[in-house]
Structures are given as C-alpha cells and as structure tokens.
Structure 1
Amino acid sequence: MSDLPITAVPPVARPRDEAAMSRPLLPLRVSGLRLAADGAALLDGVELSLAPGGCTVIMGPNGAGKSLLLKMLHGLLVPSGGEVSWNGTSAAQATARQALVFQKPVLLRRSVAANLDFVLKARGRDRSRRDALLREVGLLHKARQPARLLSGGEAQRLALARALATDPEVLFLDEPTASLDPASVLVIERIVGAARDRGTRIIFVTHDVGQARRMADEVVFLHRGRVAEHSHADVFFPEPRSQPARDYLAGRIVL
C-alpha cells in the first residue's frame, strides 16, 4: 500500500486556538470516509463513532484498509471524501495532541536518551521526565547506548516511550508487535495498558487475535474497506455478527 500515489497532509502553520486546544478530542465521528487510488476504493464509506476512554482494536484481513484508516484518523492521509471530526477540533490541532507508533520503529541515529531528549524539547516538555520514561519501558540501563544497536523489541519500546513523551490524548498503534518475540509483545502490551489506565485513548491495529482479546475494550472489524462490525469485545469475540468476522476468528480465509 505504501507505493500507492496517495496524498499526504502537508505541514501547515496555524494560529493556536486556546478554546479548541482545551476541548476534549473525543468523541470521534467518522462519516462517509473514502480513500481511492488508481480508480480503486481502498476505504469505501466508513462510518464510525468512538467514545472517550479505553482501547479500540481495528481488525480485518489483509487489504481491508486497517492501516489506511488509522493514518487517516491521525491526519497523515487526506481522504478522497467524507469527514473525520475530533469533537470540533481542527485536523492540525487534533494531530498535535496525538501520537502514532508504526510497525517498524522510526528512531534517530543518536543515543537512546537523545531520542527522548529530542522529542521532549520539540514538544516543550520537561526533559527531567526522560529517565522516568526510560524506566517505564525498561531501557534506563541503555540510555547512553546508540539506538541503532537496540534489538527489535527494545527499539519498539523506545518508539513507544517517544510517543508517550508527548502526553498524547490519543495513541495510535499500527501493528507495533508484528515482528517481535512473545516476551517483547507482552512488555509492549503492558506499557500500552498502563497508558490506557492513565486515560490515554488507544486505537490499535493488529492481526493477532490473541492480542486483540487481551487488549480490546471494543473491536472495529473492517472488510473490503468498510466497517463490517463494531461492537464491545465481550460481544464480538464470543458471538461476532458478520460472516467475515466469524470466518476470520475461525482462521478461515476471508476474501
């Protein structure tokens, strides 16, 4: 999908609206959201409402549009049609109050500590928080080590610490544990769960049904670019309503 000619959002300097910045970002309303490339509809009329609090897991087969939807909610991609509304907050201001962790960590070629220092300084946060953040993700003992020498799991934990350093109201995660060992997966889940418990709204894309069961308060199931099902996790996993979701949970191929 990354090679498709989809328009990214250019950075735009906007005046600070104090009233909007003090307004909660949630609830989120998505109406008629579409994304097309080369004549194909990648997202086709997505309708979605998310309330404050908890963890929403976005699931679905390959090509369903999960990562594309996540990036559009975060403002990284411009929709072909429809609207994403963060409780009356502008797209630019909403994005500034969110953070996104990708499947492959994007880190600076600096030390572990310097990666956090950069984010804290850029966002005007207290740099004294650095050690507490590194301790939370289990990397304080590697603060002086070059980030490029971290293992895959350690690098993802540093990426997560960088995201949390911005104090996001909403934290997006795009399959952050897809290539990690089981121990690292559980560490990432613990950190994300702690952020959720502190009040950060989590929106999490995963293919891992077991992980979804552990993390989700609610599930959005995508199929062919549309929301096939949106329900509480306690309802979705034992009794999915849609046939594509039933097939997916049963391990059958979903076309």
Structure 2
Amino acid sequence: MDGRDVVVDQVVVHRNGRLILDGVSAAFRPGAITAVCGPSGSGKTSLLRLINRLDVPTSGAVRYGGVDVAGLDVRELRRRVGMIFQRPTPFPGTVRANLRQGAERSDTDYARVLEQVALTASMLDRDTADLSGGELQRVCLARTLTTEPEALLMDEPTSSLDPDAARVVEDAARALAGAGMTIVWVTHDLQQRDRIADDVFAVGDAQ
C-alpha cells in the first residue's frame, strides 16, 4: 500500500451565494490519520468532496501525488482515493455482490479485505439487509478496499454507530494508516480525534 500526499492549495468554494471555504490550504501525509475538525457548516465535508472531485473549487487547487486532480481521470482518481460516507451505502444483495461493485476479485481476495475490517469470509453469503449498522459500514469500507486505494476519505464514518462498532472501524483505519495509507477523517467528536489522529486540521471557526 503506497499512500500519496494530498495537498489543498488556497481553495475557495462558493455555493448558492455562500462562502463555504475561504482560502484553505492543507497537506495530508501518507501513513497517518489526519482528523479534520470544525463546527457544523464549516466546510469539512466540502473539503473531502473536493479531493476526489465530487465537487470542484471556485478557485485554488487540489493535488494528489503532486498532480492537480482536475487533470486526472475521475474514475481512476476515485479508485485511488476512496471515500466512506457518514451512513453506510450498501447495494441490495449479498456481501459478495457488494464487494464485486468495488472490483471483481476472488473469494480469497474478498476474505482478505473483510479481515482488514474485522469481518470473516463467512459473511460473503450474508444479505446486507440482515446486517447491523456497524457491519454494513465495515462492508462498505471493505468494498472500497477492493480497489486497493492509496488514500481514504472518511466523512464522520462512525457517527451513526454504537461505541463498540465505532472502535472497530477506528482500529481498521489505524491499521490501514500503519500500512502506509493516507487517511483524512472528518469528526466532530473530540475524544475520537484524540484517539485516532496523528495530525489535526481545523476548518472554519476552529482554525
């Protein structure tokens, strides 16, 4: 796993007449979890969405591995820079079918990515409709890992989970960062920030 630097350079975002981000600059390094913190509405999620081109800045630039993301193929960018959302986003069907939505791999490979998120190969034939919220979020994380991303954007991924399920996701992220992945994790939970973060980046009034 070879993480890459993510650099945000003097980014400005205006949306519907409102200033969301105002000249924001940041660098997110490989092999670390950077917690992005700030008040509600400060632009934390907008910052993540710029990195893998779900949104585009009004001005400024986002670079991945030294290259402006505006010049990268968007599908290739999103393969290399995965994103996990606040609530699980499973597809209908089995866990195996969900993992195939990420990438076509062998069951052995699927077992490996499930193990990375503290699930077992016995889950492959389970229907996602029968899983808990914590299990669903880990399946979504495993689905993202099937593309072998170098960086991972996590938008409050544990906010809807109970504490035990949240800790499992945190532990998985720590292991991924330890293997070299670049992880950018939005959180409003200061205790979680203190548990997981190698670096902290504040946006909005928290700057």
TM-score between the two structures when normalised by the length of structure 2: 0.89
User: In structure 2, do the counterparts of structure 1 residues 73 and 114 end up closer, same or farther at CA, with 3 Å as the change threshold?
Assistant: same
Question: What displacement does 1:139 show?
Answer: 4.2
- Residue in 2 that maps onto 1:157: 138
Task: Please tell me whether the aligned partners of residues 134 and 140 of structure 1 are also in contact (alpha carbons under 8 angstroms).
Answer: yes
- In 1: Cα distance, 2:3 partner to 2:162 partner: 34
Report how many residues are paired. 200
Matching of residues 115-126 of structure 1 within 5 Å:
115-121=98-104, 125-126=105-106
- Residue in 2 that maps onto 1:18: none
Question: What displacement does 1:30 show?
Answer: 1.8
- What is the percent sequence identity of the aligned residues? 34
- Residue in 2 that maps onto 1:201: 182
- Residue in 2 that maps onto 1:40: 18
- Residue in 1 that maps onto 2:39: 61
2:203 is paired with a residue of what secondary structure?
strand
Q: 1:148 aligns with which of 129, 146, 149?
A: 129
- In 2: Cα distance, 1:130 partner to 1:111 partner: 13
Are residue 210 (structure 1) and residue 191 (structure 2) matched? Answer: yes
- In 1: Cα distance, 2:97 partner to 2:87 partner: 19
Are residue 186 (structure 1) and residue 164 (structure 2) matched? Answer: no
User: In structure 2, do the counterparts of structure 1 residues 136 and 25 end up closer, same or farther at CA, with 3 Å as the change threshold?
Assistant: closer
Task: Please tell me whether the aligned partners of residues 120 and 127 of structure 1 are also in contact (alpha carbons under 8 angstroms).
Answer: no
Rg (Cα) greater in structure: 1
Question: What displacement does 1:202 show?
Answer: 0.6
- Residue in 2 that maps onto 1:235: none
Task: Please tell me whether the aligned partners of residues 37 and 187 of structure 2 are also in contact (alpha carbons under 8 angstroms).
Answer: yes
Task: Please tell me whether the aligned partners of residues 94 and 124 of structure 2 are also in contact (alpha carbons under 8 angstroms).
Answer: yes
- Residue in 1 that maps onto 2:67: 88
Calculate the aligned-residue CA RMSD, in Å.
1.9
Task: Read off the aligned partner of 1:176 and give its amino acid letter.
Answer: P
TM-score between the two structures when normalised by the length of structure 1: 0.73
Task: Please tell me whether the aligned partners of residues 85 and 156 of structure 2 are also in contact (alpha carbons under 8 angstroms).
Answer: yes
Question: What displacement does 1:127 show?
Answer: 5.0
Q: 1:114 aligns with which of 84, 89, 97?
A: 97
- In 1: Cα distance, 2:165 partner to 2:112 partner: 20
Question: What displacement does 1:110 show?
Answer: 1.2
Matching of residues 237-252 of structure 1 within 5 Å:
none
User: In structure 2, do the counterparts of structure 1 residues 135 and 32 end up closer, same or farther at CA, with 3 Å as the change threshold?
Assistant: closer
Question: What displacement does 1:126 show?
Answer: 4.9
Task: Please tell me whether the aligned partners of residues 11 and 22 of structure 2 are also in contact (alpha carbons under 8 angstroms).
Answer: yes
Once the two structures are superposed, residues 34-63 of structure 1 have per-residue CA deviations (whole angstroms, 9 ceiling, x without a partner) of 111221101111112233331111001111
Question: What displacement does 1:175 show?
Answer: 0.4
Question: What displacement does 1:28 show?
Answer: 2.8
- In 1: Cα distance, 2:24 partner to 2:72 partner: 18
- Residue in 2 that maps onto 1:243: none
- In 1: Cα distance, 2:116 partner to 2:16 partner: 44
Task: Read off the aligned partner of 2:102 and give its amino acid letter.
Answer: V
Ranked by relative contact order (alpha carbons within 8 Å, sequence separation 6 or more), the top structure is: 2
Question: What displacement does 1:25 show?
Answer: 6.8
Are residue 101 (structure 1) and residue 81 (structure 2) matched? Answer: no
1:84 is paired with a residue of what secondary structure?
strand
- In 2: Cα distance, 1:149 partner to 1:98 partner: 29
